[in-house]
Amino acid sequence: MQTGLYVTLSAQVALDRRLQTIATNIANQSTPGYRAEEVDFKSLVSRSGETPVAFVSHGEAHISRKPGVPIKTENPLDVAVQGDGWLALKAPSGIVYTRDGRLRMQADGALQSVNGYPVLDAGSSPILLDPDAGPVTIAQDGMITQGALQIGAIGLFSLDNTAKLKRSDNSSVTSSKPATPVLDFSTNGVAQGYVEGANVNPLLEMEKLILLSRTFENVASAIEGSESSLKDALKILGGSA
């Protein structure tokens, strides 16, 4: 059995998966709040023959939780999340979480995300501002003030470290486990007039791409070697028949 061909084929499938994630990360390097996608690979050992053979798994993708760099915009409705919290939005499919703090106030005062989803407070209720009450001030704990009145507070939510995050539209994600409101604002909060950039390092991604190209070449050479040995074996067996 030419296990070398199957091993190298599994490597090519894994490399293609990694290439797709790198391309997606580079394409979203300027998307506010975007979380880079990473892939973990494991070896799958087959013991069907006399000698165990290790194959490369197709890879398990996960979303990086590393913070991005805050970018100053001076827009009073822009907020950059500090710490491990997430903003909560009411999407058509349910509640989603994002670090994209580009917020908008509609004509009726509804506070919405850049893609038109209501922004939720800590009780998971939509936030309604007063369009006629003047400038908006947002404190570190998310408290919204217009003039001398406290209108409400932007909710910050913590996602369990063991929860699996699934990418939704724009920069939002869904969580496999329920989120919990953030109550400690000593290391968590929001910064008004900023947005958080993507946590993608374009130079590092390009370095990965170069390394990936070299690995593709090595795998291709290994496939050629396996095919060559298979042809030689067929010639020898054919000549002795």
Residues 76 and 169 in one domain: yes
Residues 139 and 175 in one domain: yes
Residues 12 and 35 in one domain: yes
What's the CA gap between 60 and 176, in Å, rounded?
16
| pLDDT tens, residue by residue, 84-128 | 999 999 999 999 999 999 999 999 999 999 999 999 999 999 999
Residues 77 and 141 in one domain: yes
What's the CA gap between 241 and 239, in Å, rounded?
6
Output the pLDDT for position 58. 56
Output the pLDDT for position 9. 60
Number of structural domains in the chain: 2
Residues 165 and 98 in one domain: yes
pTM above 0.85, yes or no: no
Range of the domain at 81: 70-196
| pLDDT tens, residue by residue, 21-65 | 888 899 999 999 999 988 765 544 444 455 555 545 555 778 999
Identify which has the larger pLDDT, 215 or 114: 114
Residues 87 and 178 in one domain: yes
Residues 222 and 186 in one domain: no
76, 143, 174 from 132: Cα distances, Å: 15, 18, 34
| Amino acid residing at 211 | L
Residues 51 and 148 in one domain: no
Residues 120 and 189 in one domain: yes
Taking phi over 0 as left and psi of -120 to 50 as alpha, with beta for the rest, 135 belongs to: beta
Nearby residues of 138 by Cβ (< 8 Å), 6 or more positions away: 76, 79, 144, 145, 154, 190, 192
Identify which has the larger pLDDT, 130 or 54: 130
User: Is the model's pLDDT at 205 over the cut of 80?
Assistant: yes
Look over the chain and give the mean of its residue pLDDT values, rounded to a whole number.
84
Output the pLDDT for position 16. 72
Output the pLDDT for position 180. 96
Residues 53 and 107 in one domain: no
Output the pLDDT for position 1. 46
Output the pLDDT for position 45. 42
Which DSSP string do the residues of 12-69 spell out, in sequence order?
HHHHHHHHHHHHHHHHTTTSTT---EEEE--EEEE-SSSS-EEEE---EEEE------
